[in-house]
Each structure stands twice: as structure tokens, then as C-alpha cells.
Amino acid sequence: MIKVTLGDISRLDFQVDAIVNAANSALIPGGGVDGALNQAAGPKLKQAMAAIGGTPTGTAVITPAFELSATYVIHAVGPRYIDGKHNEEELLYSAYEAVFQLAREYELSTLAIPVLSAGIYGYPKETAAYVLYKVASRAENHAVTTYVIVYEEFWLPLFDKILQKKI
């Protein structure tokens, strides 16, 4: 099940098994979702990320969530969008697939996830949202309730169109 919610993923007012972080490949806290989650989680999240040492674009790794409203944080590395001709779509699919693989491996039933790569990484928003929907709605991921947490209202009608299969 996919539920789209307007809010701040770093300050959820409900508990989930894992929050997905839009991380960079170095796993060094940056801005946006990554910066907000690190600030809310406390310094131990940065230390846990540093202990991993990085992960390639299109992959995901997992750490404890520390002070967040979750048990785990799944750090997913989406691609920077260049022009759509540099494997960006394959890498974005791969990042989401890695998230859901970890969810299945850890037997998680709830995820809070942002739309990866659609902020400072410049991925076209509608396409990024659709890729998230496609992966989350696969049969093997039906056991996971996916809360897509969006920070801006313009995402809501976009996801309404996707969820009604009008795109």
C-alpha cells in the first residue's frame, strides 16, 4: 500500500520501521532530506554513516535510526540527473529496488520515503515519482506499507494522477 503524506520526513508524528534517507555516495551528511534527518537523529547517525564509508549510486545501506521515529534509516543513493542518457533511470530504479530489498531482508512492514533525486540532484519530478510508484507497487513489495513523505504541496496532485494510473 502506498500513502502520500505532506510533511517533514525528519519529524514524523508516527512510527515506521525505517525512514529512507536521500543520501550521497560518500554517506557524508549534506543538505535537504539528508541534512534534516541527520540533525533530527543526533550525531550518532553521522557516525554510523561514516563507519560504512560510502556506497555507490543506485544502492542502499541501513543503519539504526537513533532519535528518529523509526528503528532504521535506509540510506539510498539516487543519481544526479544529467540529460537522461547516462543511465539515470536505471540507477534510480536500482536505488529504490535496493531500499525494498533491505525492507524485505529486515522484514520491515512500514517505510517512510522521499522522492529520491528530485531535489538538488535535478531528476524530473514526475518521472522520479513514477519510478518510486512502480517499484513500491510491485507484488514482492506489497507487504510493505510505503508512506511517501513530500515536503511541498505540488507533489500531492502529481501522486494523485500516478495513483489513479493516469500517467
Catalytic residues: 34
- Is residue 110 within 8 Å of residue 5, measured between CB atoms? no
Cβ contacts of 84 within 8 Å, gap of 6 or more:
none
Q: Which of 85, 98, 23 is nearest to 59 (CA)?
A: 98
Cβ contacts of 145 within 8 Å, gap of 6 or more:
1, 3, 109, 110, 111
Cβ contacts of 17 within 8 Å, gap of 6 or more:
70, 71, 72, 103, 106, 108, 109, 110, 111
Helices (H), the chain: 32-41, 43-52, 88-105, 125-136, 155-163
Amino acid at 101: Q
Amino acid at 85: K
